[in-house]
Chains A and B, each alone.
Chain A
Amino acid sequence: MSRLAATFEALSKAGRKALIPFITTGDPNPEFTLPLMHAMVEAGVDIIELGIPFSDPMADGPVIQRASERALAHKMSLRRVLALATEFRKTNQHTPLVLMGYVNPIEIFGYESFADAAKLADVDGILTVDLPPEEASEYGSLLKARAIDPIFLLAPNSTDDRIKKMDVLGSGYLYYVSLKGVTGAGHLNIADVEAKLQHIRANTQLPVAIGFGVKDAAMSKTIADIGDGVVVGSALISKIEANLDDLDTAKRDIIALLAAMRQAMDA
């Protein structure tokens, strides 16, 4: 069983939900990320999504766009993200790592070489924002052959047919984008999310993580009651952006928010 499947199974047995932080690798500098990852694990997160910075993050709002720009200013790259994952695994063999990014860096790396390198780095899942199932079948097979979970997005306007498609192609979990918009948007409607989750559950047994628009502990609790996992990204990265001249505070604020979310979700 993959680390992701095992994690969701264990959580489910314990009646708990996954807390999944998203951070952009190398934001605001490459040295900041690794200690932050370990600290987040200590704060009780279950899975870490590591963003691969990209020059043209079409699905991201301003907060994650600027995180990408800060990381790229330090020459962060897919190769360096993989090196960092390798480094993380030296002292943590249990927390699943999911790389999340856009397809061009992977295309330029080469799909097969990338799948090999991700395996070597002991990465657990890959989410490629602009690679829908239509274009992903070969790539998905390359990943699955190496026991890496290809993770797909579902949106509020995804039809039942598409949910079924993701169920077949995806593994690990499905990522439900809770609103029509970019990351960090602020108009999440809980009743809509609840209604959509019923459709999703009817068409897949895979765990469903919900993200986009989760900003505070109260919201994480509400979302945890609906899905199997809660993804929080922009709210964490905002802490970095607000404390660029005092990164200890940035880190402390991130950990405090995650700890509060953990507590609310487990209550």
Chain B
Amino acid sequence: MKALFFPGCLIPIKYPQMEVAVRRTLPPLGIEIVDLEGFSCCPDPIFFQAADKVGWLTMAARNLCLAEEAGIDIFTICSGCTGTLSEANHILKHEPPMRDMVNRRLKRIGKEYRGEIEVRHIVTLIREKVGLERVRESVKRPLEGVRVALHYGCHLLKPSDIMRVDDPDEPQILHQLIEAIGAQPIVHDERFLCCGKACIDPDLPLEMTRTVLRSVKEADVDCMGLICPTCFSSFDTGQLLIARKTGEKMDVPPVYYFQLLGLAQGLTPAEVGLNRHRIKPLSLFEKIGQGVT
């Protein structure tokens, strides 16, 4: 099946290794990635929306228009993009006055939002359009005995009436995806705590991040399994900042789910960009008999 790739900003610019993993792991699942020129930032659901809600909605609508013109449903690889585009799509589909307002602005560039396409995070696309069976079939090297601490992050699941991905209090989707590659999903106490990235404060984000990391550390895992680059940045850079500030060293490797999928599909750590990571999942490499490239 064809799926229209919405790359966003953070992954292609700051964490291109995640894009590599996505581009390598989807074709074995039967997904044909379609690239399109012209997409802008989703735009950013936190600070840009805080600055200009109407502009936020309109820029998102322009991206949705491009997908409508291509006639293919969008898939996203970042929870922030998923949040912005799903929310905008929902508002514009269900609230005609808002759609009129946005379309008045889009008219300036000869576009019109019509509400013809769906937006899905890549994990939802897999669950709904590909099936977990296909993921299992693509596995050549099950990640046996690998303990992965799940962290869903906030914006894949909430607001749940709009996202409609899973029960935000009892989500299953990542559990199933981790099990499908032969690894063990580990539930930790602070699995629902926000990474804190959006708080503007010198200490508050680090407090939240540290609380999550301590809980992960206690769960004795090989890595964290994430699907959001913002969470990744909090738990990766965050560990450096915490160590610098308090001397507390965590050594918890955060890993993007599609890098794990790639390893299970037989790719090497370097082929999914794990060699670029500051905190490498060494015990995981050992368990699957891979060197530390």
Chain B associates with chain A: no
